[in-house]
Amino acid sequence: MHDVIIIGSGPAGFTAAIYAGRANLRPIVLASSVAMGGDLMTTTEVDNFPGFPEGIQGPELMFAMQQQAERFGADVRMVDVTELELDGEIKRVHVGDEVLEARAVIYATGSEYRKLGVEGEQRLSGHGVSWCATCDGFFFKQKQLVVVGGGDSAMEEATFLTKFAEKVTIVHRSETFRASAAMLDRAEQDPKIEFLTNATIDEIRGTEVNGVEQVTSIVVRDTVTASTHEMPIDGVFVAIGSDPRTHLIHGKLDLTAEGTIAVDGRSSRTSVEGVFAAGDVIDPIYRQAITAAGSGTVAAIDVEHYLAAHPAPALDEA
């Protein structure tokens, strides 16, 4: 029997593990068998995480978090969770044929940005392709950028990027936008923002400079005529939404209208007693590494209080 199992190994999961370990709760962290560390494992330069004035590489930050969690007794396992049984005092977490039991669970699986699914997108991730203007906009000073999308997030990303870029072009597949009138008007009034409607991106192309390939152009397709042309560009920001990774808890925990896990106020408590959630999986707005880490702190403290109020049953000495 374990005190707490943490599902997820991003900033929320590892921060929760650090705090839980310091509370002597001997946490188990179940990370993906494919890649530990969440989205930061594909982020090159992290320049906005406190404590690193010169910045830090995403994978380096996540390995440091893992080592810190393990220093306090966290048991990190590179495995995939296949099923959850969350009802009752004892929670059961299925990992293939193995079943782990715990008195509490922290669900911190994060969210996943929606991808365009075009050639060059994944290859050039972190080298001119980004899903977060707040994270990466600083690196594109006086550059020509493209934002893909037609909702509020696309307008917000484009407007934010004008603080750094020389020009931002919003590429959208139709002439009708899903963005609110206020957000759209704000973007239309910005002299640095242009619109390319009835257009999609077929390919993102790069050129190798000093041994590193960087985005240099995109292939744009006209959705009306089907004609294509190459457009020189320095960076592509994809803003077509994100999806919280909640597939394991559908029908088990209450969700919000945005599809994130519902929690009680500023706590991490979910609709099921003994189950807590943290990070991007409960956050439809900010989705930053530092806010996820803070959320992981909340979850670990909530678990500590919960376990103190629900002592483990005495073992049968017979």
Catalytic residues: 132, 135-136
Instruction: Measure the CA angle with vertex 113, ends 107 and 118; round to 5°.
Output: 145
The DSSP string of 21-34 is HHTT---EEEE-SS
CA dihedral 144, 148, 152, 153 (to 10 degrees): -80
**279 strand-pairing partners:** none
Question: One-letter amino acid identity for 43?
Answer: T
Q: Chain centroid to CA 256: how far?
A: 17
CB 188 within 8 A of CB 172: no
Return the closest-CA partner of residue 284 out of 275, 273, 295. Answer: 295
CB-based contact 128:206 (threshold 8 Å): yes
Q: How far is CA 93 from CA 3, 34, 49, in A?
A: 13, 19, 32
